[in-house]
Amino acid sequence: MDIERIWQTLIAVVLAVSGGFARLLSLKGKAKLKWGRIASELFISGFAGLMVLMLARASGLSGDLIGVIAGISGWIGPRMLDLVAKVASKSVGVDFESKKDE
């Protein structure tokens, strides 16, 4: 793995976590946030950003566009993971969604 890919990965994850943090700040006042919820939301945001980065790289998107998508994926968090699962499911022909999870 070259240094440019490592930096791109770190930047995408930071942007995703920042997107998740911005969303949490926008919810301030609607509900009291506890440290456990903050940590889980930021982890989910970072994970979503990493998954989007991998898909974006596989699609050949530019670094700037990857950054934008990573930030947005952090903002929408779990909903982005649902979208990533659908894209991955179609690309490999496997249904990742379990009916018992609903």
pLDDT of residue 70: 92
Answer yes or no: pTM beyond 0.85.
no
pLDDT tens over the chain, length 102 residues: 699 889 999 999 999 999 999 988 887 776 777 888 889 989 999 999 999 899 899 889 998 899 999 999 999 988 888 888 888 788 777 776 655 555
The token duo for 20 is: 């998740």
The domain containing residue 27 runs over which residues? Answer: 3-101
- Number of compact structural domains in the chain: 1
pLDDT of residue 32: 76
pLDDT of residue 43: 93
Assign 50 to helix, strand or coil.
helix
User: What's the rounded Cα separation, in Å, for the pair 37 and 98?
Assistant: 25
